[in-house]
Structure 1
Amino acid sequence: MEGKNCFRTRWTQEPIFSGGALASLALPVSDPAASSALSTSAAPEECLVMACGDTVNVVRATSGEVLCRYTLPVEDVILHIDAVTVPKASDDGGKDATSGDEGEARAKRDASAAEKSATTKKAPKKKAGAGKTVKPIEEDEENAGQAEKKVAVPSVAASSSDAAASQGDRELAAPAGSYVAVGTRSLQVYVLRVDARVESPASPSPSPSAEKGVAADAASEKGNAAGAEGDDADVVGAATASGTLVLYSIELQRNWTAAQHAISVVHFSQSGTYLVSGATDGSVKVWNVFHHHLTHNLVCAHSSLVQSVCLDPSEAYLAVGSFEGHVTVFDFVAKRIVAAGRPHVQAVESMIFNDALTHVYSIARDRRLALNKMMFSENRKSTELKEVRAIAVKEHVSSAAFESAGLLHVGAMDGVVSTYRVSEDEAVQLVRRLPKPPSADAEDGAEEAFVRSLLVAGVPKGTNMRRLRDSVVQDAPHAPDTSSLYVGDAGFSIQHLCPSSAERSQYEVARTVVGFLDQLLDVKLFPEASPLHRAVVTNSKDVRLYASDGCVSSKTLRGHSDVVLCCAVSSNGAWIATGAKDKEVRVWSTESCETVVRGVGGHTAEVTSLSFNGRQTDTYLLLFSVSSDENVRMWDIGVPLAERVSAKQPRSRVEEIQHRSGVNAAHTGPIYTVAVAPNDQYVATGGKDKSVNVWNITGKKMYREASLKGHRRGISSLAFSPVDRVLASASNDGSVRLWSLVSLTCLKSMQVDRTSVLQVGFFNNGTQIVTSNAEGVLRVWAIASSESVWAAEAHTEKIWALAVEERPSSGETIFYSGAADGVLIATEDYTAEEVARVKEDRHQMILQEQALSNALRKGEFSEAFMLALRLSHPRHLRQVLVRWCAKDARQCENTLRGELLPALDAEQMTRLLQYTREWITNSRHCTVATLVLYVLISSHHFEAVAQVPSMASLIEPLLAYTRKHSQRQHDLLRRTYYIDYVIRGLAPNVLTSLPPFVHHGEGRREEPPLAKRMRVE
């Protein structure tokens, strides 16, 4: 199939997380009837909600798959995010899915507040018994503040207070569904709705590629429907193992300007009814989003930035924490301050009320855990916030989250995550801790380890008493032994922490969702039999290992003190080598993710490229490295690794070795790339000096074989052919050259433009090569013709990393390209699938064309008409109509009007009109076109015809040519009159008594006077 390749994007790993807050949703995926809300029969799964710049992403927590995303319609920055899942009302009596105790407490609270609120002025209209003032969102915020002081709650009879409050709660409750709220820098609050709809598959047992195609088509159709909100809504389809297709969509519900300064905090209530927004000017507002009301306009005693808020589940009190350490408690019913204080001197990260609503627990970045008691006076009009206890935690707090009043999770600036058991009268106990990562000990390593956000796993807000796919969410908080967390760090990764199976006092990282790759520098693939799939090198000190497609990383290699630049994987997938700017070469075990061999003293500058030898055994394993110091080094690591495997060396020991052989000053400039021949005979190096040096390996020694010259700029990549004695070199001059290792001459030179070619690789049994350049273009070349057979602008920046995977078991060929834009794309070759599809289409077309010929021969014009239309054969379709009219014009017209044309769909109707437009332009075929138009107009209502797609572009030429042919026919008819006149004028005289042009049998006419006189004479 050389020169006929077809490629498509298989999957893409894009930036999805920029280090802000995290939230979670419970999305149903198994009940088609519950497309937007949870039902008792559904088995929802937990999904993470995160922001990246101005985009909201909903990600499956287990696999890291992006289910749907929404981009803000204007350029903006998302500062905070929250989400809630409102369950569907249960079937027993229409009770809400929230707990009955909570509803009863809310009803009693509202009734009590209503009895205590006396009014002298007319109050705004409210829901009966709700005990809350409602105000349209669109009204002026200053008026809202004035109206707040005039609020008067009508008295409620004690006998009916519970029922009235319950009815008011149901009226003001949020509709069932999953919702996301975001606050932005430009003062806006956006509320989005996430839906999941289950559809039946298009075919009983589609192939994986077919499933992707169906999902893409369905997602495209849904995206067009969602486009009413603009091009920012996104829909993603995912095919499940059972064959069903789940469509996830996210759409904008509404947005509004919520403050006069940037929105720093948004927080849904547990019921989803209220949304609390805090701004950088210290203002706090509470909204009933789903009923378009501003319910609270609260003013804190301070003007500092709102850092955190906490609304207790019974919606009795609201606590607000500021960036300067203030804690303010509001009565959520009376809308006034009931307690205020400054227990901290830095930003308050998290707060929670105890079960009795008498204490407020708070923790801030000043490392103080404060237990504050609300001291109510007798008339409950003034209170103070009294600090009962203050405990200093060990960590430098950067983020914190209360799972309950007795369980606190703390994230530190050095990456440590700790869980504490908190009590009012007992000492704080450490339950579990994630040790500090090794990279945090470096001078600049703490930047990526910095914990930015914490989220308790398995407890999406609003999902009380709901069963998730992997866990059960209960009203009671998790026991300390079962708590798990999602931790977002400054390296834009999200770690899922679970209790360690080996040590219960420690956390272990179950998986990591990589939210942002930054610049990709290298990608290497593991063999098909390995449990790992690929190793990805970014401009970081860590190397991430992935076991599957997507953004979930299973392992991380940590140990280098500077940015890692390159890596190489052994043929058995057991060892991986890395080179970094710290001038070190390390060999890691992929099983333990620990350094087993460390090469020292080999290079004096950053290591730029690595490569293992081709024919590897347990004891014969060579590693070649090149550096900017112009040196080439060969490391014999087979013996140390063999001794480690045979347990002769302790597994915790790192073997330090010197290079076995090497060449100093191998080039006259930095060396960028190294490649080893499959038969281990040659090693090729290339660098800034524009030359390709070939080295011969003999007895673990390196000898110069040749220096190949021809490129006009530096060499960026080298690759040996897997089947021929050919070496490919890519250069910054924009060309790719093929060199013969027999004659040591250039065989071919391939070039399209002068854009730097950065990577090159062979595939398809060495008959084709793939290259990447500095403009983000992937290009496939056919070696036999030296031509580019396929190209795609896959990236927007330089493609530094390119790997080719050929799977013998499935026959698949996949390119993995990573660029400076932080995107990793897997591009698959589906040539075989496309060839099979074209072959099948051609076979079906031959069968249908034969059926068309048979129908014409048998005189079955109705069937022939539909076959010709389905095959898109306008010439055959016209011939069918011509023969049909010649045989029986009346039957043709009646059949078209009564049977065929009414049965056409919109696509077939458009196609028929397009053919008619082509026919009517030719005077020889205008009769057929006129017949089709006449039958179409007489069989369809004009409104139905007007709804045909692209009808406007078809009507204009049809009208023009119809008018033209009508005029031509009338002119032709008039010309026939002259023929009659000439024929009669040239005819011989006939003996008759009648004057000329008087026919026999026309009756007697009065003889003209002149004729009468001549006859008499």
Structure 2
Amino acid sequence: MAPIKTNLAVLDKYEAFYTGGRIQVSSDGCFMFCGYGQKVKVMDLQTGKIKCAIGQEDEEITSFCINPDDQSLVVATQNLLLRKWNWKEEVLVRSWKAIHSTPVMCMEFDPTSTLLATGGSDSLVKLWDSVQQYCTHNLRGHTGVVRLVRFHPDIKRLQLISAGDDYTVRVWNLQTSVCAAVIREHYSLVKDLCFANNGDTMYSCGGDKVVCVWDMTKLVVVKTLPVFESSEGVMLLENLPVLDSSDAGDHFVSVGSAGALRVVNTNTGICAHSDTSLCEDRGSEDEEGNPIIVQAFHCKALDKIVVVTYDHNIIFLNTDFTLHRQFSGYLEEVLDIGILGKDGSHLVVISNSSKVKVYSRLTMECQILSGHTDTVMAVNTYPKKNLFATASKDNRVRVWRMDPDTFHVSCVAVGDGHAKAVNTVAFSRLSAKFLVSGGEDQTLKVWKVPAEVKNDSDQLVSLHSSATHWAHEDDINYVAIAPNDQYLASASKDKTAKLWSLPDLSLKGVVRGHKRGVWCVQFSPTDRCFVTSSADGTINVWNLTDFSCLQTFEGHDSSVLKVMYISNGRQLISSDSEGLLKMWTLKTNTCEKTFQAHEKKAWALTVHPTEELIFSGAADSTLITWKDTTEEDVDEAREKEEQMILQEQKLSNYIEEKKFLKAIGLAIILDQPFRVLKIIKAILKTPDGFQDLKATLCKLKPNQIGALLRYSSEWNTNSRHCHCAQAVVNIMLQGFTAEELLAFPDFTASLEALIPYTDRHYQRLNRLQQQATFADYTRQHMKTA
């Protein structure tokens, strides 16, 4: 039987790391740099984890750049400062004013990491010597925001290319600080530039649906080739697998804003190959009319094409345009989580989007699944068959399957029948023969699931409803199926939860008692009861036989959004709209512990089948993995107890052997002031007690002396122990200089605590001396009378 859990610890935390702007990959291909508001987050591409976050509070970052040797990161902020960071050590190296009158919008290092070029929204281009730390060039010519700066790869030519909102491309001679050429061949914003290997040819692309080919020796455009789509990136790739031997000549790759990748022959302008897999199920633009692709470039270290989408997804493509890996830069509002794969290798994350995201727990690579046409609300998994079902506001439920070998996920079935948004869905627990859904139409539906489903998107199975029932008077928030597949429980905004028999959906009972809507319902894995959580902040456990309330848990100060059984049905874990997690024990009806998990509503909560891990997600765009540390805590406590016993025995042996110096040192380590006091009293009882104590205390280490002074201030508050305290203080004041005393830890605080009680003891002893003198005087007079 699983032990009662007493503690959870954060094992991993996956946060949003990209909210917009241009990204960069280090020259060795190991790290990716992404803008996230006031920070630049650095991701380790091997593990998918955030290595560090560079930036300072209250400074919005407008642009950043990593130098070619991967040692320095320069960021430009909204308050017109440039900051140079050693990002590996997270140390700010230098800050200086950008001199631009408006924010810096782009920047680039030269190949030697010596010069840094910055382009501002004030139409200026400036160059900085990063070694000597001064501005070397101030280039004027553009009449709009400078959007792009790029050094010629041959540093001997000392050329800088810039492009701006005035649709011009300018080539600057850095020896003379003169604009060597102004090209007006583009009729829209220039988005990207790339050079041929020898640097004599340059390609430029933009929103005017053409790619210009430049002769960089004559500084003229020699060809203008149509690509029939606004282009976000142009690149030159060697030995493209998509080309055959008949495709002779030079080729370039254009990445369109709508997601199409085209390989174009430079000599003929003919498109030799086109790939539109990125724009499948996406359309040409998003709902607001923005382009799908916002950035594309070739990472030479990895030999991958990196594509950034408008919805903050970062895609790595092979040179044959097949998907290599994908990351989701922004989780949005996490609504639900499901566990999938062998040993829970993958997480299905439902965020405030029509897309379904499937993460690999090992690398946090992400598959983004399209199919639903409106926000997906819930997910429920059946790991034995690698199946999961999703419910959406598009009034549909979909069944998905993950291939156990390739981990590729595809939709295998769809159910259409609800009149309004579907809020919840649940698989049968024993064999995945059916699933149940409920939503805003207040209706429950039972769907039959085919026995065999295959990963073939061309053969979607239509699910048929075997039972439909109008169940509640308000939206249905949650449904759960009993472990034996005999019963169904539904939770609704109408403040009730209902029990139904399966598969006919006949009503068995209604539970009432919550004062507000019921968010969640779960069956106990062992007992004939079920639990509900409500917006009134309470959790109730109900009897399945007579529908009476067995227990009520009060402790949340806000809506309890999710509740789950753990520890084989002996405990509960719940999440609320304040982002808190609470762990409850049914037997004692108490809250074991509260965990500050999230900053906003913790909608999502699920438990790994082994219960070693618990996953939570919230509206703060974070996904947290919790580890059960109960056994580790017990082992640690046992180890500490054993160590304490050994130390106690060792201390007793020191005292018995009259090794007082070692005894005092060990007692201080164990933080036992009373034992130290007993040792000091034992020393003072020896024939030369004070001198022995002085010899012993002078050998203590500074931190031990500081602790002893702190103990003395405590002993001094009691008249029975004040003599020992005063003896210690006397030795300290006589044995050390004022400078040495002030160097001891907390000496000033200990001395201040000693003064008032020392004054009180002095007054008491003074009165006692006066009384003793008066008694002696009286006795002498009585003898002479």
Aligned-residue offset at 1:694: 0.7
Decide whether aligned partners of structure 1 residues 682 and 709 sit closer, same or farther in structure 2, where only a CA change above 3 A counts: same
CA–CA distance in 2 between the matches of 1:706 and 1:677? 15
* Cα 1:484/1:843, change in 2 over 3 Å: same
Determine helix, strand or coil for the equivalent of 2:723: helix
Structure 2's unaligned 5+ residue stretches are 239-248
**Do residues 279 (structure 1) and 120 (structure 2) align?**
yes
Contact conserved, 1:179 with 1:191, CA < 8 A, in 2? yes
CA displacement, residues 431-479 of structure 1 (integer Å, 9 cap, x when unaligned): 67462333313874687972222343254xxxxxxxxxxx6xxxxxxxx
Contact 1:413 1:449 (C-alpha < 8 Å) held by counterparts: yes
**Residue 621 (1) aligns with residue 621 (2):** no
In 1: Cα distance, 2:48 partner to 2:313 partner? 11
Q: CA deviation at 1:623?
A: 0.8
Q: Which amino acid aligns with 1:874?
A: P
1:724 CA drift (Å): 0.9
CA shift digits 1:684-737 (9 cap, x unpaired): 11212222111112xx43221112222222111111111111111111122111
Tell whether 2:564 aligns with 1:761: yes
Cα distance in 2, alignment partners of residues 581 and 630 from structure 1 = 14
CA distance in 1, matches of 2:729, 2:430: 74
Question: Aligned ranges for residues 500-539 of structure 1 at < 5 Å?
Answer: 506-526=320-340, 528-529=342-343, 532-539=345-352
If asked which structure has higher relative contact order (CA below 8 Å, sep 6+), I would say 1
1: distance between equivalents of 2:378 and 2:385?
A: 16
Q: Which of these residues, 877, 886, 889, is aligned with residue 689 of structure 2?
A: 889
CA positional deviation for 1:985: 3.7
Q: Counterpart of 1:723 in 2: which secondary structure?
A: coil
2:473 is equivalent to residue 668 of structure 1: yes
Distance 1:975 1:485, change over 3 A: farther
- Per the alignment, residue 75 of structure 2 pairs with 182
Aligned AA (2:39)? T
Residue 267 in structure 1 maps to residue 108 in structure 2 = yes
Match of 1:79 in 2: 62
Conserved in 2, the CA contact under 8 Å of 1:734 and 1:751?
yes
1:548 to 339, 347, 361: 361
DSSP 3-state at the match of 1:19 = coil
Deviations 1:199-240 (A, max 9, x none): xxxxxxxxxxxxxxxxxxxxxxxxxxxxxxxxxxxxxxxxxx
Q: Find 1:416's aligned residue among 251, 255, 260.
A: 260
Cα deviation for residue 615 of structure 1 reads 1.0
Question: SS of the residue aligned with 1:572?
Answer: helix
Q: Is the 8 A contact 2:296 2:306 kept in 1?
A: yes
Q: Contact 2:478–2:490 (CA<8 Å) still a contact in 1?
A: yes
Secondary structure of 1:659 counterpart: strand
Looking at structure 2, the residues matched to 550 and 14 of structure 1 have their Cα atoms a distance apart, in angstroms, of: 14
Alpha-carbon distance, 1:5 to partner: 1.1
Question: 5 Å matches for 1:22-33?
Answer: 22-25=23-26
2:189 maps to 347
Name the amino acid aligned to 2:475.
P
> Which amino acid counterpart does residue 361 of structure 2 have in structure 1?
S
- Residue 637 in 1 paired to residue 449 in 2? yes
Give the aligned partner of residue 925 of structure 1.
721
2:237 and 2:79 mapped to 1: Cα distance? 31
- Paired AA for residue 659 in structure 1: S
Q: Contact 2:258/2:285 (CA < 8 Å) preserved in 1?
A: no
* 1:439 alignment partner, SS class: coil
CA distance in 2 between partners of 1:81 and 1:409 (Å): 26
In the alignment, structure 1 residue 723 sits paired with structure 2 residue 526: yes
Q: CA deviation at 1:844?
A: 1.5
The alpha carbon displacement at 1:62 in A equals 2.1
Amino acid of the residue matched to residue 606 of structure 1? Answer: A
In 1: Cα distance, 2:375 partner to 2:347 partner: 19
Whole-angstrom distance in 2 between the partners of 1:521 and 1:639: 29
In the aligned structure 2, how far is the partner of 1:329 from the partner of 1:948? Answer: 66
Query: Residues 285-323 of structure 1: CA distance to partner in whole angstroms, max 9, x if unpaired?
Result: 0112342211111112x3111111111233310111112
**Structure 1 unmatched ranges of 5 or more:** 27-43, 87-176, 196-247, 377-384, 460-470, 472-482, 500-505, 990-1017
Q: In the superposition, relative to structure 1, how do residues 948 and 85 fare at CA in structure 2: closer, same or farther (>3 Å)?
A: farther
- Cα-to-partner distance string for 1:214-273 (whole Å, 9 max, x where unaligned): xxxxxxxxxxxxxxxxxxxxxxxxxxxxxxxxxx53535324233101211111112111
Task: Tell me the CA shift for residue 952 of structure 1.
Answer: 3.5
| Alpha-carbon distance change, 250 to 545 in structure 1, aligned in 2, over 3 angstroms | farther
Q: Could you say if the C-alpha distance between residues 820 and 45 of structure 1 is closer, same or farther in structure 2, counting changes exceeding 3 Å?
A: same
Q: Which residue of 1 aligns with 2:245?
A: none
What's the CA shift for 1:334?
1.5
Counterpart mapping for 1:142-161 below 5 A: none
Q: CA deviation at 1:419?
A: 5.4
In the alignment of these two chains, the number of paired residues is 767
Written as runs of structure 1 = structure 2, the 5 A alignment for 1:855-866 is 855-866=654-665
Q: Is the 8 A contact 2:196 2:236 kept in 1?
A: no
Q: In 2, Cα distance between the equivalents of 1:545 and 1:958?
A: 64
Which residues in structure 2 correspond to 1:781-800 (within 5 Å)? 781-800=584-603
Kindly tell me: are residues 3 and 436 of structure 1, through their superposed partners in 2, closer, same or farther at Cα, counting changes over 3 Å? closer
Higher relative strand content = 2
Match of 1:847 in 2: 646
SS in 2 for 1:701: coil
Identity of aligned residues (%): 25
Q: Secondary structure at the match of 2:727?
A: helix
Question: Which secondary structure does the structure 2 equivalent of 1:668 belong to?
Answer: coil
Shift of 1:651: 7.3
Q: Could you say which residue in structure 2 is the equivalent of 1:485? A: 305
SS at match of 1:749: strand
Matched residue, 1:604: 419
Task: Tell me the distance in 1 between the aligned counterparts of 2:276 and 2:79.
Answer: 37
**Are 1:47 and 1:61, in contact at CA under 8 Å, matched by a contact in 2?**
yes
Matches within 5 A, 1:889-908: 889-890=689-690, 892-899=692-699, 901-902=700-701, 904=702, 906=703, 908=704
Contact 1:797 1:820 in 2 (8 A): yes
Contact 1:581 1:605 in 2 (8 A): yes
Contact 1:779 1:790 (C-alpha < 8 Å) held by counterparts: yes
CA distance in 2, matches of 1:443, 1:366: 16
1:59–1:947 Cα change, 3 Å = farther
8 Å Cα contact 2:16-2:330 kept in structure 1: yes
Residue type at the aligned position of 1:180 = L
2:205 alignment partner in structure 1: 363
| CA RMSD, 1 decimal | 2.8
Superposed counterparts of 1:616-1015, under 5 Å: 616=431, 621-641=433-453, 644=454, 652-663=458-469, 665-697=470-502, 700-752=503-555, 755-807=558-610, 813-887=612-686, 888-890=688-690, 892-899=692-699, 901-902=700-701, 904=702, 906=703, 908-966=704-762, 969=765, 977-978=773-774, 981-988=777-784
Give the TM-score of the pair, scaled to structure 2: 0.91
**Residue in 1 that maps onto 2:315:** 495
Q: 1:11, 1:550 within 8 Å by CA — same for their partners in 2?
A: no
**C-alpha offsets along residues 656-675 of structure 1, whole Å, 9 cap, x if unaligned?**
13112221x11122211100
* 1:584 Cα offset (Å): 1.6
2:230 is aligned to 396
Q: Output the CA distance in 1 between the equivalents of 2:534 and 2:722.
A: 61
Looking at structure 1, the residues matched to 685 and 124 of structure 2 have their Cα atoms a distance apart, in angstroms, of 84
8 Å Cα contact 2:206-2:230 kept in structure 1: no
SS at match of 2:90: strand
CA contact 1:732–1:758 (8 Å) conserved in 2? yes
Counterpart of 1:692 in structure 2: which amino acid? A
**1:561 aligned onto 2:373:** yes
2:99 is matched with: 258
CA distance in 2, matches of 1:442, 1:711: 48
1:950–1:73: structure 2 CA closer, same or farther, 3 Å change rule?
A: farther
Q: Trace 1:93-132 onto structure 2 (pairs within 5 A).
A: none
Given the superposition, is the C-alpha separation of residues 4 and 363 from structure 1 closer, same or farther in structure 2, using an over 3 Å criterion?
closer
Does structure 2 retain, via aligned residues, the 8 Å contact 1:10–1:828?
yes
Q: 1:947 to 1:69 in 2, by over 3 A?
A: farther
Question: Are residues 360 and 597 of structure 1, via their aligned partners in 2, closer, same or farther at CA, if it must alter by over 3 Å?
Answer: closer
Partner in structure 1 of residue 42 of structure 2 = 58
Residue equivalent to 1:454: 296
Contact 2:163-2:190 within 8 A present in 1 as well: yes
Looking at structure 2, the residues matched to 357 and 417 of structure 1 have their Cα atoms a distance apart, in angstroms, of 24
Distance 1:416 1:528 in 2: 35
Q: Structure 2 counterpart of 1:769, which letter?
A: L
When Rg is computed on C-alpha atoms for both structures, the one with the higher figure is 1
One-letter amino acid of the counterpart of residue 370, structure 2: R
2:242 aligned partner: none
Distance 1:289 1:716 in 2: 58
